[in-house]
Structure 1
Amino acid sequence: MANMLNEETISFGGEIDEATCYIAPTLLDNPPDLYSPVMQEEIFGPILPILTFETDQDIESVVSQYEKPLAFYVFSDNRAFSKGLIERFSFGGGVINDTLMHFGNEKLPFGGVGFSGMGNYHGKFGFDTFSHHKAIVNRKNWIDPPVRYAPYQGKLKWLKLFFKYFT
């Protein structure tokens, strides 16, 4: 992960201690190369690239170059703008005007879409993702009404009568 920082503009943090496998929380300001490792890989560490945009078209042109991200963070005072971005793009989890809060809340699902993974992994969502819910029908075999089987000609009135009184 430290190699991701080699050619990036660090605006905060960036301290690395290879002996202890430590990387300080690091902010990267407008990565110049959208094809650099930090922009091509999912970052499971304390590195956050910050991209600023002037127009919606700029955002669209950059975001559309990538697969669906695991996380999508929007910083804006404009509620309609933020909501529009959240609705327009597909991603695992999102936060407006903050980071990581979706990951730290066990009541929210966490997980990706597409290449970022499938399913949700937190609390009950994780239990449900890794559980198999079996559907079981236990039907009694003492009566098997012939109305269930073909030919169906002449059975419609019996079915209507049944559903009228038993549903």
Structure 2
Amino acid sequence: MSRTIRQNAPNIAAGSSTMGPSTAAPSTLDRLSRRVVVGLLCTMAGLAAAGTGGAFLLKPGTAQAGRVVGDTLRTAANYARLPAMIFTLSDGDRLRELRVRVVLDMEPTAPAKTVESYGPRIASAMTNVMLETDPGELRGRNGAFYIKDAVMRTAAKELGAMKIRQVLVQELVMR
């Protein structure tokens, strides 16, 4: 039995001497992990540079000294509400009732109270426009566009120099 141990011992020693210190090239896994780490570091550096550049490009807004906050908010929206208008339309066989409520979005320089004082005049002028309207023109989606256009033209004639941005329909009901 000692003889078999002696024979195996030189083989073990010989195998260990061939292994020696690890001087071989790094494995594929090591090279791949280094590339991933370098790639992640480059990505992080790029994102940091982009964030810093964005911070310099997007400067915060400057405060407007001497301006009252209420004036700033007033210039954003200037609405004038017109009175509810009720029109009677005829389609040949029967009479239809049309109820319309609109709001005018005015330029910031036009005082809303002044525009609202023109409301009865605009409603009266709209009555004349709607006498010529066929109820079939007001059906579907085109009805709102027709009303907006008619109110825009009529209000522009009545208001003269005051500019209207948009006509907003609050209610449009035909019975």
The TM-score, its normalising length taken from structure 2, stands at 0.19
More helix by share: 2
More strand by share: 2
Higher relative contact order (CA 8 A, sep 6+): 2
The TM-score, its normalising length taken from structure 1, stands at 0.20
Q: Report which of the two structures shows the higher radius of gyration computed on alpha carbons.
A: 2
